[in-house]
Amino acid sequence: MEAGIKIRRATESRIAEVDFNNIPFGRVFSDHIFMADYDGQQWINMEICPLHKIALHPATMAWHYGQAIFEGMKASIDDEGNPLLFRPEDHAKRFNVSARRMCMPEFPVDVFVEALSKLILIDKAWIPPQEESALYIRPVMMATDEFVGVRSSDHFKMMVMCLPSGPYYSKPVSLLVEEKYVRACDGGVGEAKAAGNYGASLYPAKLAKQKGYDQVMWMDGREFKYVQEVGTMNIFFVIDGVVVTPNLSGTILKGITRDSLITLLREKGHTVEERPLSIEEIHLAYLDGKLQEVFGAGTAAVIANVDRIGYKGEDMILNPENFKLSPMLKSEINGIRKGRIEDKHHWIHPVYSEVLADIV
């Protein structure tokens, strides 16, 4: 059944102002946004409308107590000009995992996919066709009760905005092993895409930048021994021909790109180990000349090669030009996303057929 999403189109598009060959990540927004409100019982006021600013009371609870979550996903365009969403149901389900952990209402998966499909179709012209570019989709949910007291909000706002984007990282990244600050502990909210996880990472990230590194590599919060993830991505290591990535222990994000890469690697016959991985093991592999590749994986970043890891005052240096798996994976995943490589795992959700009649 249709969810009853109202559609109000922008009278004029801003698209002519955008240089699609040079789009800074995170700053350029498409013409429309999806919005919905939770009234304590159900989701209401579902609408796709022109992107606009919203007015909120200073006591809006999300600002005070961080009851806010988000997702990051992508749409591409195939060679025939059809929009393709990448694993939207998986993102919807992960959004709901985050919502449950943060005491927020779930958003029905089918309505999430329907809303996104309609939004993408309306803003189809904003999907950049360039290689390595895509329409980044940012669903966000926030607590909107106007109340200064610590409890869960009864009312929430859900919004989905779209941003045409080029590559998140235009060059290999350097990482600093974090030995003082912690991103997540057992029993915490590390697995949720909670806004506060990112807020808490900013200060250590700033210190890492001051030391000349792009990102922090987080260690476990108990012993500072095992690798968790990187600021904006999950992380993969190729050690002596074996791909190793930290297991999903509840403290790291269940990355959808991470899962896609593991599936592709195993399908191609590579051994992938999901297990606790200590920084000592990585360091020893480096000293033995067995650390062959290090790359991050995430929706925004897709695959970002790592060329330097700072650990205990020294740098492990890698040469991404020698990486074999990371470029193969990048071209595979980009090919699937653009509909050029067979989608054996049903990750692609084409949106042209099911919603066109309804909205054009």
Q: What are phi and psi of 272, to 5 degrees?
A: -120, 125
Q: Which is nearer to ligand COI, 172 or 298 (CB)?
A: 298
Please identify, among the stretches 59-67, 79-87, 208-216, 293-301, the one whose residues bind ligand COI according to the rule CB under 6 A: 293-301
Q: Which of 197, 232, 251, 260 binds ligand COI (CB under 6 A)?
A: 232
Please identify, among the stretches 95-103, 201-209, 292-300, 330-338, the one whose residues bind ligand COI according to the rule CB under 6 A: 292-300
The candidate with the shortest Cα–Cα distance to 144, out of 111, 106, 104, is 104
Sign of CA dihedral 125, 69, 173, 263: negative
Q: What are phi and psi of 279, to 5 degrees?
A: -70, -30
Q: Which of 105, 164, 298, 310 binds ligand COI (CB under 6 A)?
A: 298
Q: How far is the CB of 233 from ligand COI (least distance, A)?
A: 7
Compute how many residues bind ligand COI; rule: CB under 6 A: 6
Q: How far is the CB of 327 from ligand COI (least distance, A)?
A: 20
The residue written with tokens 């946004």 in the block is 33
Q: Can you tell me the distance from the alpha carbon of 333 to that of 322, in angstroms, rounded to the nearest whole number?
A: 20
Q: Which is nearer to ligand COI, 302 or 355 (CB)?
A: 302
Q: Which of 30, 36, 72, 303 binds ligand COI (CB under 6 A)?
A: 72
Q: Which is nearer to ligand COI, 296 or 310 (CB)?
A: 296
User: Considering the rule CB under 6 A, would residue 300 count as an interface residue with ligand COI?
Assistant: yes
Q: Which is nearer to ligand COI, 175 or 291 (CB)?
A: 175
Query: Which residue's C-beta sits nearest to ligand COI?
Result: 72
Q: How far is the CB of 150 from ligand COI (least distance, A)?
A: 26
> Could you give the string, one character per residue 187-226, with x where binding to ligand COI holds by CB under 6 A and - elsewhere?
-----------x----------------------------
Q: Can you tell me the distance from the alpha carbon of 24 to that of 168, in angstroms, rounded to the nearest whole number?
A: 8
**Binding residues vs ligand COI (CB under 6 A):** 72, 198, 232, 298-300
